[in-house]
Amino acid sequence: MNNIKEYSDKINEEVTAVLSKVDLEETKTFLDLIQGARKIALYGGGREGLMIRALAMRLFHLGYEVSVAGDMTAPFLTTGDLLILSVGPGYVSTIDALRSVAQRDGATVVCLTAQPDGKTARAADKIVYLPAQTMADDSESKATSVLPMGSLYELVLFVFNEIVVLELLKRTGKTFGEARDRHTNLE
């Protein structure tokens, strides 16, 4: 347990380094698309999916019509709607299938990714590049993070999404209190 500060410092350093490289125009476009969407659905697999669910919850708290793809209450997406995907490694066949269906029916697709040259990322309408280690590049010879597998990407994704929420609060003039008013009472 003597390594808590050492690990904490290194992880903070890594997250800060990645977030400092995120393109501001990509982020602005992402925010614009969220604000302009009629309906928003989100999806990510595994631990990325947990981070995406956290963003979905906060978007709901901000008053957006939002759902998580795969849940039985997810709506039909079409023109004017937005599908936000997290695909750290740039391609996952099941996530790519969701992208394809959404685009076929007219929805706009944004891909949050660490691998912008992956098939799903390239095929999305817009991407937000979060240049962090994922399982696609965590082998011993390529690993750069103190964290295992895709943990750095997942942590960056969570922090980036919280920054998006803060920026949406600022853009809309909403307060934390207004967001809290939409929090469930069924916990």
Look at the pTM and tell me if it is higher than 0.75. Answer: yes
Q: What is the pLDDT of residue 183?
A: 86
Looking at CATH, the fold of the domain delimited by 4-172 is given as Rossmann fold (3.40.50)
Q: Which amino acid is at 111?
A: C
Q: Would you say 68 and 52 are in contact if contact means Cβ atoms under 8 Å apart?
A: yes
Q: What is the pLDDT of residue 161?
A: 98
The rounded percent of the chain whose pLDDT value lies above 90 is 74
Q: What is the pLDDT of residue 146?
A: 62
154 is catalytic: yes
DSSP E strand boundaries for the chain:
40-44, 66-68, 82-86, 108-113, 126-129
First to last CA, the chain: 33
- Cβ neighbours of residue 80 under 8 Å, at least 6 residues apart? 37, 38, 39, 106
Domain ranges in the chain? Answer: 4-172
31 versus 136: which is more confidently predicted?
31
Burial label, 145 (beta-carbon count in 10 A; 0-12, 13-18, 19+): buried
Burial label, 185 (beta-carbon count in 10 A; 0-12, 13-18, 19+): exposed
- Could you give the CA distance from residue 123 to residue 42 in angstroms, rounded to a whole number? 17
Which entry of 14, 26, 48, 154 is annotated as an active-site residue?
154
Q: Would you say 161 and 51 are in contact if contact means Cβ atoms under 8 Å apart?
A: yes
Q: Would you say 7 and 146 are in contact if contact means Cβ atoms under 8 Å apart?
A: yes
125 versus 14: which is more confidently predicted?
125
- Could you give the CA distance from residue 37 to residue 79 in angstroms, rounded to a whole number? 9
